[in-house]
């Protein structure tokens, strides 16, 4: 891998060029950040957990008709993906009130949301990744009307499929962040990753607000047992994928 050309390094991954200009190699790091990188640290084994969980979930979604950038997992912490031009938008889907939604609205933590809430945030660390309205997205020319509508529709489909998958794991999908990109043919594809770094996941059998947390909130809020919780989540995901419990069919 040292001979490959590094194209981009972010907080959680490094992207390398490959011999095929339409394919990239994603290396998942153990580095951890929170609060717009104001908090930094390392979660041992995080790269392997996130790469494996993302690989399983990308394949699960592809089987249900969701186009993704995933091609194959080439090592525990490496994934071959299609090259896409990422929209500078983070798409957040919320099923239960938590995190910034509670801070910004005073909604109580854990309040169910009747219909999934889809939000867009501008990927810009200098501005603090602000929440964007549809009209601001169009004003800033970050995406077209059709592209915004397609991303919302895909996000809601993804939410439905992931909710069912995680239910099979004994886990409640509280909310999650995803990113989309355009491939060489102009098709919108789900990209980046789906992992405990990008999802808020609660153990469905645990009522204690701290002990139920199975995601990066353990690192954000110093809840402890971060590495062991990440590993436990990976095992649940692998077991659910192996068993292939009840899963919704594609639309």
What is the value of pTM for the model shown?
Answer: 0.94
One domain, residues 100 and 194: yes
What pLDDT shows up at residue 244? 67
User: Mean pLDDT score of the chain, rounded to an integer?
Assistant: 95
Number of structural domains in the chain = 2
**Residue where a domain terminates, one of 44, 61, 82:** 82
Instruction: Answer yes or no: is 31 within a domain.
Output: yes
Instruction: Answer yes or no: is 116 within a domain.
Output: yes
Residue 198 sits in a domain whose CATH number is 3.30.470.20
Q: At residue 80, what are phi and psi to the nearest 5 degrees?
A: -90, 130
How confident is the model over 91-150, as pLDDT tens digits?
999 999 999 999 999 999 999 999 999 999 999 999 999 999 999 999 999 999 999 999
Could you tell me the CA-to-CA distances from 46 to 26, 41, 168, 242 in Å, in that order? 14, 11, 23, 21
> Beta strand pairing status for 131-132 and 171-182?
unpaired
One domain, residues 77 and 177: no
pLDDT bracket for residue 32 (50, 70, 90): very high
Is 50 exceeded by the pLDDT of residue 248?
no
Region 77-93: what's the mean pLDDT?
Answer: 98
Is 90 exceeded by the pLDDT of residue 2?
no
Instruction: Answer yes or no: is 121 within a domain.
Output: yes
How confident is the model over 188-214, as pLDDT tens digits?
999 999 999 999 999 999 999 999 999
One domain, residues 121 and 218: yes
One domain, residues 63 and 112: no
One domain, residues 191 and 144: yes
Instruction: Answer yes or no: is 22 within a domain.
Output: yes
Is 80 exceeded by the pLDDT of residue 153?
yes
**Residue 144 CB coordination number (10 Å):** 11
**Residue where a domain terminates, one of 82, 103, 128:** 82
pLDDT bracket for residue 246 (50, 70, 90): very low
Instruction: Answer yes or no: is 230 within a domain.
Output: no
> Beta strand pairing status for 171-182 and 6-9?
unpaired
One domain, residues 211 and 97: yes
One domain, residues 94 and 60: no
Residue 67 sits in a domain whose CATH number is 3.30.200.20
Q: At what angle do helices 145-168 and 226-243 cross, to 10 degrees?
A: 90
One domain, residues 89 and 68: no
Range of the domain at 177: 85-225
Percentage of the chain surpassing pLDDT 90? 91
One domain, residues 48 and 165: no
Instruction: Answer yes or no: is 233 within a domain.
Output: no
One domain, residues 176 and 127: yes
Tokens read off for 169: 């794991």
One domain, residues 24 and 143: no
Region 146-167: what's the mean pLDDT?
Answer: 98
**Residue where a domain terminates, one of 82, 110, 144:** 82
One domain, residues 96 and 193: yes
């Amino acid at each position: 891998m040292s001979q490959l050309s590094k194209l981009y390094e972010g907080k959680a991954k490094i992207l390398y060029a490959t011999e095929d200009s339409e394919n990239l190699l994603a290396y998942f790091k153990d580095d951890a950040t929170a609060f717009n990188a104001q908090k930094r640290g390392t979660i041992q084994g995080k790269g392997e957990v996130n790469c494996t969980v993302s690989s399983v979930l990308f394949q699960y979604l592809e089987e249900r008709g969701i186009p993704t950038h995933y091609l194959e997992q080439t090592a525990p912490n490496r994934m071959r993906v299609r090259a896409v031009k990422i929209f500078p938008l983070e798409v957040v889907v919320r099923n239960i009130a938590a995190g910034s939604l509670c801070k910004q609205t005073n909604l109580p933590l854990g309040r169910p949301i009747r219909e999934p809430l889809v939000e867009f945030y501008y990927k810009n660390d200098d501005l603090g990744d602000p929440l964007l309205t549809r009209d601001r997205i169009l004003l800033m020319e970050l995406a077209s009307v059709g592209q915004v509508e397609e991303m919302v529709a895909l996000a809601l489909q993804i939410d439905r499929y992931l909710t069912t998958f995680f239910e099979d794991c004994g886990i409640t999908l509280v909310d999650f962040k995803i990113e989309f990109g355009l491939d060489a043919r102009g098709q919108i594809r789900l990209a980046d990753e789906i992992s405990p770094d990008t999802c808020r996941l609660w153990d469905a059998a645990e009522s204690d607000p701290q002990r139920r947390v199975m995601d990066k909130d353990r690192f954000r809020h110093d809840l402890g047992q971060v590495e062991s919780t990440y590993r436990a989540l990976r095992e649940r995901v692998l077991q659910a994928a192996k068993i292939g419990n009840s899963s919704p069919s594609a639309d």
